[in-house]
Structure formats: structure tokens, C-alpha cells
């Protein structure tokens, strides 16, 4: 996002425009009220990455605008970033600028912070890293008060650990999440908390077992489990599955089972056209599903998964792409009515919008 697009004094105006656009996509499908969740105007983004520009003795961050891949824009302030990132940005440059071991062929810096206060900085290089780099990077950890990781071609040097532990509060209960460096996490933590609470508000009116597809690290899974008898969650990413299993144990959520399956694979298992040791048929048969929760990638639901979820009494759908959500809801409206919708402003000052929909079988 170009910093010129960040206009805190126009935030409400820009939000209103986004809301009207999103509502217009669903006019023919839903005439009820939208729950609108705004963001902080600044300091909301918990992860950020920048290229590093070497200009003689100087060193600074740059970003590129969409459509201008060869034109770097200097970044001295990044107001949308969490305050911890804003503080770390100059601290990293000050520590690296005159340190040739840390500076040499450094081309990118990535930041990951949390509401819990844990911070992680990844330094990425166009050269191989050695013991000298490790020694200086350990000093950098002390200077920054943050964990440091070094990356280079076929190298991933972890000095302390490769994750942070986030804490999210949902209805006065705090959940702890391992967020692995390089893995997917929701970038706007405060809006994420509101998204989880919105989904839980829908789930607490339901009964029976819950199926969740695309569970990631368990972001929604852990709180949703408090409103379900049992939860079967699926996820294809090995990294996310490991994080989810860690988070389930850390939070003592004993009624959750994670199966490493894509939504397409789960559909095949559910339709009994595929056998897998990751989810035996006799185990699947032990669940009494009445509801399904989905949070798919931007492409939305594939045809098979859309058909699968249409068999559930209730669907809770979180979407990062209103256009594919509109397509999916149009198909699901043949079997379900839309009871509630929401828009969450995860990405202020952009066209991106996160949406929620709650559907009930006709």
C-alpha cells in the first residue's frame, strides 16, 4: 500500500464508501442490516515487510507501488503498522547501518508483532550467513528486545525461536496462539478479535458438532469450540496444522480434532469416494454435524465444497473476497437463507474487505 493512500482524517468517509460498495454486491440476495466493524485509523497492522535500499553510506526502507515494479518509494514512516513495528523500523536500521556483517547484502526486513508484546524480525540476504553473522545477530536481539531470524538461499537461521505467541481476547476469555514466521496470520489483530466474536455469536445459537474447513492455525477454531460439542477442523498446510495442534494443546481445547486435508479431499472422504488414514470413515461417522464454518482463500469455495456445505443446516462463512462470496452465496441461496451479514475493515485505505455471512437451511 502506498503511504499516500493513508488518510486518517478521511477514514470514516473511505469506510462508508467501502461499505456501500460491499452492500451493493449483495442487494439481490440480502436486504437486512450489515454489522460493520471499523478498524483503528493507524497502528493496526501486526506484520509488515520492506525492501532495503543501499545508498552509499545510507540505508533505508523502500516499497513499490502496484504496476511500478522498478520504481522504489522511500519509507520513513509507516503509520498503519503496529506501534511496535514503527519503533523497530528505525532501530533495525540504526543497528545495521554501520555493522558490515549485518548490513552486507541485506535486501529485505520483515516484522511480526503481537498484542501480547512478542516481536520477531527477519533479515533476508543475498549471501550465505556464517558464525560471524550469528554472533552479531544475537547482539541485535538484545538491542531490539525482539527475536531475530536470518534467511538466505537455502538458509533459515533461528536464534531463539521461529514464532511469536499471540493472545486474543474473545468474550473475556484469552486464547494463546503460536504464529509461525512466514505462516499466515490475520494482520489486523483487533479487527480479528471482532471477527471471531461475530462468528461465535452465530455459533452459540447452534447445537451439535461443528465442521470447520480451512482452519489455519486455529484462529477461529479455539473460541468456536466453546460453543460446540465436538469440532472437526481441516487444513492442508503442514505448518498451519502443526501450529493448530500446538494451540489446541496450549489452550486445553480437548474437543477439537485437526485433519490435514484440503477441502477437496475432505469432500471426497465425506462422499466416500476417497479413503485416507488422516480421517478414517469410522471416525468421520462418529460426528453429528449440523453446522459448518468456512474461511476459504480469495478464490472462495470450489464447486464440490459448495455442494458439500449446502447439506448443512447452518453455514458460517468468513470471506476475504466479497466478489467470490457473492458468487457462493448466490449458489447457496437455492438451499439457504442469509440470516446475517457483516463487513470487517481488516485493510483500511484499500479496496479489500473482509465479510461474514450466516446462512440457515430453508
d(CA 335, CA 329): 10
- C-alpha cell belonging to residue 21: 460498495
What string of DSSP letters covers 106-139? EEEEEEEE-TTS-EEEEEEESS---HHHHHHHHH
| Greatest pairwise CA separation for the chain in angstroms | 67
Q: What SS3 state is found at 179?
A: strand
Non-local CB neighbours of 161 within 8 Å, separated by 6+ positions: 147
SS3 of 300-317: CCCHHHHHHHCCCCEEEE
DSSP state of 297: -
d(CA 4, CA 85): 19
* Beta strand segments in the chain, E: 34-37, 47-55, 58-64, 72-75, 106-113, 119-125, 147-152, 155-158, 163-170, 173-180, 209-213, 231-234, 256-259, 289-294, 314-319, 336-344, 354-361
Are 194 and 243 in contact by the 8 Å Cβ rule? The answer is: no
Helices (H), 127-205: 131-144, 189-203
Residues belonging to the active site: 320, 354
Amino acid at each position: 500500500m502506498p503511504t499516500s493512500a493513508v488518510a486518517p482524517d478521511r477514514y470514516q468517509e473511505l469506510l462508508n464508501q467501502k461499505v456501500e460498495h460491499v452492500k451493493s454486491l449483495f442487494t439481490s440476495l440480502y436486504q437486512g442490516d450489515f454489522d460493520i466493524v471499523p478498524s483503528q485509523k493507524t497502528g493496526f497492522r501486526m506484520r509488515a515487510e520492506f525492501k532495503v535500499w543501499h545508498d552509499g553510506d545510507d540505508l533505508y526502507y523502500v516499497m513499490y507501488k502496484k504496476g511500478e515494479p522498478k520504481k522504489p518509494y522511500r519509507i520513513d514512516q509507516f503509520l498503519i503498522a503496529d506501534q511496535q513495528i514503527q519503533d523497530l523500523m528505525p532501530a533495525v536500521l540504526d543497528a545495521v547501518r554501520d555493522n558490515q556483517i549485518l548490513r552486507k547484502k541485506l535486501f529485505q526486513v520483515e516484522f511480526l508483532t503481537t498484542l501480547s508484546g512478542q516481536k520477531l524480525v527477519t533479515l533476508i540476504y543475498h549471501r550465505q550467513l556464517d558464525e560471524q553473522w550469528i554472533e552479531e545477530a544475537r547482539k541485535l536481539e538484545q538491542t531490539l528486545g525482539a527475536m531475530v531470524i536470518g534467511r538466505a538461499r537455502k538458509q533459515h537461521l533461528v536464534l531463539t525461536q521461529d514464532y511469536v505467541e499471540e493472545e486474543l481476547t474473545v468474550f473475556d476469555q484469552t486464547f494463546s496462539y503460536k504464529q509461525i514466521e512466514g505462516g499466515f496470520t490475520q494482520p489486523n489483530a483487533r479487527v480479528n478479535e471482532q471477527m471471531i466474536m461475530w462468528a461465535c455469536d452465530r455459533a452459540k445459537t447452534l447445537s451439535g458438532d461443528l465442521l470447520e474447513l480451512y482452519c489455519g492455525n486455529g484462529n477461529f477454531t479455539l473460541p468456536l469450540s466453546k460453543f460446540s460439542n465436538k469440532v472437526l477442523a481441516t487444513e492442508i498446510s503442514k505448518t498451519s496444522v502443526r501450529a493448530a495442534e500446538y494451540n489446541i494443546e496450549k489452550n486445553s481445547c480437548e474437543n477439537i480434532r485437526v485433519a490435514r486435508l484440503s477441502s477437496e479431499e475432505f469432500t471426497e472422504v465425506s462422499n466416500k469416494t476417497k479413503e485416507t488414514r488422516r480421517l478414517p470413515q469410522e471416525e468421520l461417522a462418529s460426528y453429528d454435524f449440523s453446522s459448518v464454518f468456512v474461511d476459504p482463500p480469495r478464490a472462495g469455495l470450489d464447486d464440490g465444497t459448495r455442494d458439500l456445505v449446502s447439506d448443512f443446516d447452518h453455514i458460517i462463512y468468513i470471506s476475504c473476497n466479497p466478489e467470490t462470496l457473492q458468487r457462493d452465496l448466490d449458489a447457496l441461496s437455492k438451499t439457504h437463507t442469509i440470516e446475517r451479514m457483516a463487513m470487517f475493515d481488516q485493510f483500511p485505505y484499500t479496496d479489500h474487505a473482509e465479510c461474514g455471512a450466516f446462512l440457515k437451511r430453508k
